[in-house]
Copies of this chain bind each other. A is one copy, B any other.
């Protein structure tokens, strides 16, 4: 591979040619890899065949493969067999988890007119939905609470906290009601949770066509989007508290593990909940009267969205078989030659909601392609310096059970050994998307400079930079988007990777163990969201719309394969400390701005309330109460955190400089000491205490939002305390987070001392 940093932009001779030209828009001037490494990666690529991926997906997605289905077990066995065939030391590790299998579901409008929701997705000719022999799961969400309720209906938009604030202003209470929420705006499980918190006794969640139906593109099978009877299944386990088996928080759900009683399990939702299609939802929504829904609450159905309550009267009943079920994680190892006790772990789940072609099998077949290629390289004589551990998780869909139980069971070993966990999940045609620990941002940029995008002929990193720059032209672009665009247009800077919260199997590693992670995939052009968690996420849909030719699934393997190889074989730590320090400094700025903005908002609201501006600006013929008065925002004790961030920036710079200057003339003993200091440095960020009220989450830099879902909240102990107006928590966690960052800096400083020759 040529040294990309020396290539300058070539003059385009024609538009058509230009697109295929290699265009150097820069990528943080990544260091050239050695010619040995380049050869190894070329050999690796040569072992990746899109046809393999297609064949594997076709087989794995032939029948429904949700947890407890026969095909899920068949797939685990098949994956195990492949690993063994390719020379890996592999086994299945089984856990026993509480898993509710649906027995019966009822959802009907009982007044003013009668209507029964279909709760089934009809087969589509030419699609696996028409050829499979095993039945699909009905419309269902895991870990809702069984029950049988009848009540008036209330439309709650996305069912998020802001929506309940609006309902209060509209004078609508959900107490004793059944709510109907549309998908979007935040994580699914928050909808029944917040509904229950506000007094509702049942919850319906539907897919609005504005989110993923005909408003976006033609519906399947004419196009990729959700057809009128498509349903999004999912988990509503209260993962903000902890993911994994609800009966075994913090420990692996082995056969004989000590378990909570089901009635004590805090993560099981409190009210019956069902997901429905927009074909069904339209009937329920059209039966509502009451306030017209505020502008931001209106979806794509051809009706006037109204809030209710009623007169629509709804009967909702769910019954499930709550038993322990075995789940099957496939674990495969390739031992390292030099540092066998340092592990690079790679994972993707294998369970789906129905056929699971895109989610999760597109990522699974990429993982298999990597595993097969590493087997091939091994047969050619290569052995990684570090141990590579490939994992195919079960039960991700019910809420990360396979990966969480494994991580909990092996926690102390993993904390000691794992250098990096690399995750993937759904994958599609489009742009590189990477989230994770920013100390690996520079590595990602280096790899992204060496993988060529098949649609444009330029490195995937360059294509991503172009996307970031063009995104800033949108009229809706935020300041965050502008900042990204500015960075992306500077070839001397690394493009940023996103902070992670939850939503896939990296969570236990990042959030609970404090192990650094990367989550990698391609996205956007395949419109896989249109069949997300539905019966139509099939091999046929994936092949036609999501990744025709399995080109991007294969490219995912090439991308992650490089990350695995470079981390596995690097003599010195691949972390770039300054990237992390800079990200944390940015997070601190955001948190301080949040406090200032909240303070200003409270002051401004107080003036508006004092002047009766809300009443005067309201239409008295429509319900519009006052907003709840915001309490005053005190000035917070940010100083320790500010000092810690300043120190981190200094420590990071001296460490990175020392590494760059001295890397070529270190003794083996020095290398070993630096490795020992750096390989689990991220665990300084995840002290035992954890976050307030949810101590499973130990990472003080990244966490999923308690009231937003999967999306990351950075510096969560401080940020969420401000959002929730827990001022003493905010001050306490500013100090705890500062302590964690100082511990991180201490490690960096110790490593710097070694690098500088002590």
Contacts and interface: CB of A to CB of B under 8 A. Distances in A.
Contacts of A400: none
Contact of A611 (B25, B300, B430): B25
Contact of A470 (B209, B216, B608): B608
Contacts of A103: none
B15 A626 contact: yes
A455 interface: yes
A466 B79 CA distance: 65
A223 B470 CA distance: 42
A616 B612 CA distance: 52
B616 A525 contact: no
Interface in A205-256: 209, 214-219, 223, 225
A296 to B, nearest CB: 8
Given A18-B612, A223-B304, 12 more contacts: A19-B612, A19-B615, A21-B612, A25-B611, A300-B300, A462-B616, A463-B616, A466-B616, A469-B611, A470-B608, A470-B613, A471-B617
A339 interface: no
A653 interface: no
A300 B12 CA distance: 42
A9 to B, nearest CB: 7
A292 interface: yes
A301 interface: yes
A303 interface: yes
Contact of A302 (B9, B214, B615, B621): B214
A458 B215 CA distance: 44
Contacts of A217: 292, 304
Contacts of A469: 608, 611, 613, 617
B304 A302 contact: no
7 contacts: A9-B610, A15-B615, A23-B611, A216-B304, A455-B619, A466-B617, A470-B614
Given A215-B298, A304-B218, A621 B466 contact: no
A620 interface: yes
A614 B12 CA distance: 14
A621 B219 CA distance: 18
B304 A301 contact: no
Contacts of A462: 616
B9 A466 contact: no
Contacts of A23: 611-612, 616
Given A469-B608, A525-B621, A608-B469, A456 B300 contact: no
A661 interface: no
A721 B43 CA distance: 61
Contacts of A25: 611, 613
Contacts of A607: 489
Nearest to A218: B304
A294 B48 CA distance: 36
B617 A12 contact: no
Contacts of A470: 608, 613-614, 617
Contacts of A175: none
A214 B304 contact: yes
Given A217-B292, A292-B217, A608-B470, A18 B615 contact: yes
Interface string A454-475: 0110100011011101110001
A303 B611 CA distance: 45
Interface hub of A23, A466, A607, A616 (most chain B Cβ within 10 A): A616
Nearest to A223: B304
Interface of A: 9, 12, 15, 18-19, 21, 23, 25, 209, 214-219, 223, 225, 292, 296, 298, 300-304, 430, 455-456, 458, 462-463, 465-467, 469-471, 475, 489, 524-525, 607-608, 610-617, 619-621, 626
A441 to B, nearest CB: 21
A529 to B, nearest CB: 14
Contacts of A304: 214-219, 223, 225
Interface hub of A12, A217, A301, A469 (most chain B Cβ within 10 A): A469
Interface hub of A209, A300, A465, A611 (most chain B Cβ within 10 A): A611
Contacts of A619: 430, 455, 524-525
Contacts of A215: 298, 304
Contacts of A298: 215
B300 A467 contact: no
A430 B696 CA distance: 53
Contacts of A456: 615-616, 620
Contacts of A21: 612
Q: Which 9 A-B pairs have the closest CB atoms?
A: A466-B616, A470-B617, A466-B613, A302-B302, A467-B617, A466-B617, A19-B615, A525-B619, A214-B304
Contacts of A301: 302
Nearest to A462: B616
Nearest to A615: B19
A214 B216 CA distance: 20
A466 B302 contact: no
Given A617-B469, A620-B456, A611 B9 contact: yes
A19 B615 CA distance: 6
A614 B218 CA distance: 25
A610 to B, nearest CB: 8
Contacts of A12: 612
A607 B620 CA distance: 52
Nearest to A548: B621
A455 B614 CA distance: 13
A459 to B, nearest CB: 10
Contacts of A218: 292, 304
A615 B471 CA distance: 13
Nearest to A468: B617
A470 B626 CA distance: 12
A393 to B, nearest CB: 31
A472 B658 CA distance: 51
Contacts of A15: 615, 626
A128 B525 CA distance: 52
Contacts of A9: 610-611
Interface hub of A214, A215, A292, A524 (most chain B Cβ within 10 A): A215
A424 to B, nearest CB: 21
A256 to B, nearest CB: 52
A267 B394 CA distance: 70
A604 to B, nearest CB: 8
A551 B467 CA distance: 55
Contacts of A617: 463, 466-467, 469-471
Nearest to A467: B617
Contacts of A626: 15
A277 B718 CA distance: 54
